[in-house]
Chain A
Amino acid sequence: MSGTETSVVLRLEGITKKFGDFVALNGISLDIYDGEFLTIVGPSGSGKTTMIRLLVGMDEPTAGDIYLKGERVNDVPANKRPTCMVFQSLALFPHRSVGQNIEFPLKIRKVAPAARRARAVELLALLRLPADCYDKNVTQCSGGEQQRVALARALAFDPEILFFDEPLASLDFRLRKTLEKELKDLHRATGKTFVYITHSLEEAMIMSDRIAIMRKGRIEQIGTPDQIYNAPTNRFVAEFMGEVNLFRVRATGNGRLEALEIDASLASPDEEAAEGEEGTLMVRPEVIRFLAAGETADCVLEGTIFNEYVLGSRVQYSVRVGEKTLSVEKLREDRYTGEIDTKVLIGWNAEDSRLLGSES
């Protein structure tokens, strides 16, 4: 977020959206701050697409209010709102050139042709598109170029908030990685408010100032990428974050936990946990160590190395402990040197694990 004093640009108050009996959004309240990059993440069916349709004005909420800069905009249609969206399909106009696509919002505002062209050329440069793209037909542009044209067109509109509906989903991995960073750079360069929707938390992590995680029409957690990474509020968020090791545990008092699935006693990161209370212990793959003989840790488990996966700079191992398979991740230089299918001791420090609420 830029600046110390951040003002709310879009406020949702108790937004509910029903389609017949189906509740797509269930009482969502959310503040979007001026100039931030907010990503709304959720699996398909979580309501994130419904949400963005309400936010841009393509649909109206069943209950609740949306305020744009303090004004209620529930029933203001999309073409009367100072916001705009980059569609998943990009929705470039196939019968128009790149230049005409970018100038479309300016033409509607009756900007003079020369000024329109100047702005379009400026935007082409900002998005690192060659100037001779201007006369090219959009259908002849590559996937990456089309993304940039769609962005340029949205920026030409000069919106208060720029919405994105998974525009990178259809691209190949490498191009997506490049554009994710470019988008974040563009956010810095323009200082606009970006609201991005995706099902990929990884994408959200890279780009966002704040992330909101949605499930079944509710926001499960909202916070900075670090907050969500380090302190997921529940099992759903933790699992959604990617590969984590989760143990169902019951507190046995005196700072110990009983792991219910593998019959082991673990040290609790939370000394306060009341006896008998059930919950989930989260241990990230990268905090687990292989213990050499004589080495010790707060929590120690014996398991068998089942397999090894090289991820590039890191190496991941699956370790079977009883019926459970744990994931361990090491930097390449710290990789495990022993044989596969041998018994190993693994362990971690209690403060590197995290106790989540009992809600699944």
Chain B
Amino acid sequence: MQKSLRLAGLLSSLPILLLLALVFIAPLLVVFGFSIMPTKTFSLLQWPTLENFETIIGLSYYRSLLWSLGLSSATVVILLLICYPLAFAMAKVFGVFANVIAILVVLTLFVSENIRLFGWVLVLMKGGLLSGTLKAWLGIEMAGLLYNAPVIVFGMVYVYFPFMLFPLTLGISMVPNELRHAAADLGASRWTVLREIDLPLAMPGILVGCMLSFVLCTGAMLESKLLGGQKVIVMADEIETAFTYGQNWPLGSALSVVLIALVGVMAIFVLRRVDLDQILGRTNVQSS
């Protein structure tokens, strides 16, 4: 009985396991495989080499990497600052009205990312909607706001807004109101309540939101291309260039592996440092 049940379980999970192996694991393995193939080749059946990684270290790819990580970090910080108050309001204040906001935010996802970004290009470019309006109505001459690093961050904040907002809302709604009232009743100011009660208890949602938006940002390239106009080359640009113009799959794969490894290590590091069990109140906490 027990055995046949296990077999049944295995069998019924088989389709999804196969699908995951095929569409999720296999492409990653192909990328890992290509990263150790000789440069500018198109076959996986060759003697492994580390020359692509030597190229990456030798050339100045570290700049793109730093730009990617820097822009992503800035985006995550700004997203957190913008989304926290809104998420708090959606979880605790707005009631039914929160659903309206949620729908409005989700609606933006129905339009493809590059179309939305082209919209911003038209608004922000020199002689575009914004500068044109200012000139016509107020006579203010203004250069375009495009083609710099801050506008890339702006674009990413805009695009990845939902990916921070919803995990945060979920995290904050997990904090019982009574705990905040009790803390206030025991003399805590608003800031103390935020620091001692809200943030630690909403931390799972905050972490998930930060990780999700950070990972998406490091993989983003449309923002730097369309809004940044190649002023800043980010890692995702480099990877795309290597695969397309460069016709150098092994180099592109090696760059991908570096990015995946870095982001993966950071994710593990963050989740380790902040003990999820402690946040959820499952283990002993040493008193401070």
Specify which of B186, B187, B282, B287 lies most central, judged by the most chain A CB atoms within 10 Å of its CB: B186
Q: Which of B178, B182, B281 contacts A139 (CB 8 A)?
A: B281
Look across to chain B and name the residue whose beta carbon is closest to the beta carbon of A78.
Answer: B185
Task: Known A58-B181, A78-B185; judge A95-B278 contact (CB<8 A).
Answer: yes
Chain B residue contacts of A191, Cβ below 8 A: none
Shortest beta-carbon distance from B55 to chain A in Å = 48
Chain B residue contacts of A87, Cβ below 8 A: 178, 181-182
Tell whether A142 is near chain B: CB-to-CB under 8 Å: no
CA distance A154 to B186 in the complex (A): 7
Query: Is A104 in contact with B285, judged by CB distance below 8 angstroms?
Result: no
Shortest beta-carbon distance from B180 to chain A in Å = 9
Query: Is B186 in contact with A137, judged by CB distance below 8 angstroms?
Result: no
Q: Which of A84, A89, A139 contacts B282 (CB 8 A)?
A: A139
Chain A residue contacts of B262, Cβ below 8 A: none
Q: Which of A95, A134, A157 contacts B186 (CB 8 A)?
A: A157
CA distance A94 to B280 in the complex (A): 8
Query: Is A105 in contact with B284, judged by CB distance below 8 angstroms?
Result: no
Q: Which of A91, A95, A109 contacts B178 (CB 8 A)?
A: A91
Look across to chain B and name the residue whose beta carbon is closest to the beta carbon of A88.
Answer: B178
Task: Known A108-B187, A108-B188, A157-B186; judge A97-B178 contact (CB<8 A).
Answer: no
Give the A-B pair count, Cβ closer than 8 A.
Answer: 85
Tell whether A56 is near chain B: CB-to-CB under 8 Å: yes
Query: Is B188 in contact with A93, judged by CB distance below 8 angstroms?
Result: no
Specify which of B189, B201, B286, B288 lies most central, judged by the most chain A CB atoms within 10 Å of its CB: B288
Chain A residue contacts of B187, Cβ below 8 A: 79, 84, 105, 108-109, 157
Query: Is A91 in contact with B181, judged by CB distance below 8 angstroms?
Result: yes
Tell whether B271 is near chain A: CB-to-CB under 8 Å: no
Look across to chain A and name the residue whose beta carbon is closest to the beta carbon of B279.
Answer: A95
B interface bracket (residues with beta carbon within 8 Å of A)? 20 to 34
Query: Is B285 in contact with A137, judged by CB distance below 8 angstroms?
Result: yes
Chain A residue contacts of B188, Cβ below 8 A: 79, 104, 108
Query: Is B281 in contact with A153, judged by CB distance below 8 angstroms?
Result: no
CA distance A93 to B284 in the complex (A): 13
- A60-92 CB contact bits vs B (8 Å, 1 = yes)? 000000000000000001110000110101010
Tell whether A100 is near chain B: CB-to-CB under 8 Å: yes
Tell whether B265 is near chain A: CB-to-CB under 8 Å: no
- Name B175-232 residues within 8 Å CB distance of A: 176, 178-179, 181-189, 192, 196-197, 200-201
Query: Is B284 in contact with A91, judged by CB distance below 8 angstroms?
Result: no
Shortest beta-carbon distance from A60 to chain B in Å = 15
- Name A141-174 residues within 8 Å CB distance of B: 153-154, 157
Chain B residue contacts of A248, Cβ below 8 A: none
Look across to chain B and name the residue whose beta carbon is closest to the beta carbon of A99.
Answer: B287
Look across to chain B and name the residue whose beta carbon is closest to the beta carbon of A137.
Answer: B284
Chain A residue contacts of B4, Cβ below 8 A: none
CA distance A221 to B281 in the complex (A): 44
Query: Is A56 in contact with B287, judged by CB distance below 8 angstroms?
Result: no
Query: Is A137 in contact with B281, judged by CB distance below 8 angstroms?
Result: yes
Q: Which of A79, A89, A137 contacts B283 (CB 8 A)?
A: A137
Query: Is B285 in contact with A95, judged by CB distance below 8 angstroms?
Result: yes
Shortest beta-carbon distance from B219 to chain A in Å = 33
Q: Which of A94, A97, A153 contacts B284 (CB 8 A)?
A: A97
Tell whether A96 is near chain B: CB-to-CB under 8 Å: yes
Task: Known A95-B281, A139-B281; judge A134-B287 contact (CB<8 A).
Answer: yes
Chain B residue contacts of A138, Cβ below 8 A: 281
- Name A93-141 residues within 8 Å CB distance of B: 93-97, 99-100, 103-105, 108-109, 113, 117, 134-139
Shortest beta-carbon distance from B172 to chain A in Å = 15
Query: Is A135 in contact with B183, judged by CB distance below 8 angstroms?
Result: no
Task: Known A95-B285, A100-B285; judge A79-B184 contact (CB<8 A).
Answer: yes
Query: Is B284 in contact with A135, judged by CB distance below 8 angstroms?
Result: yes
Query: Is B285 in contact with A93, judged by CB distance below 8 angstroms?
Result: no
Task: Known A58-B181, A95-B279; judge A84-B186 contact (CB<8 A).
Answer: yes
Query: Is B201 in contact with A95, judged by CB distance below 8 angstroms?
Result: yes
Across the A-B interface, give the 9 residue pairs with the lowest CB-CB distance, nearest first.
A91-B182, A94-B281, A79-B184, A105-B186, A91-B178, A78-B185, A95-B281, A108-B187, A99-B287
Which residues of B approach A to under 8 Å, CB–CB? 176, 178-179, 181-189, 192, 196-197, 200-201, 278-288
Q: List 25 A-B contacts (CB under 8 A).
A: A56-B185, A77-B184, A78-B181, A78-B184, A78-B185, A79-B184, A79-B186, A79-B189, A87-B181, A91-B176, A93-B179, A93-B183, A93-B196, A95-B200, A95-B201, A100-B285, A104-B188, A108-B186, A108-B187, A108-B188, A109-B187, A134-B287, A135-B284, A137-B282, A137-B285
Which residues of A approach B to under 8 Å, CB–CB? 56-58, 77-79, 84-85, 87, 89, 91, 93-97, 99-100, 103-105, 108-109, 113, 117, 134-139, 153-154, 157
Q: Given A79-B185, A97-B284, A139-B282, 10 more contacts at CB 8 Å? A: A56-B185, A89-B178, A91-B178, A93-B182, A93-B197, A94-B201, A95-B278, A108-B188, A108-B192, A154-B186
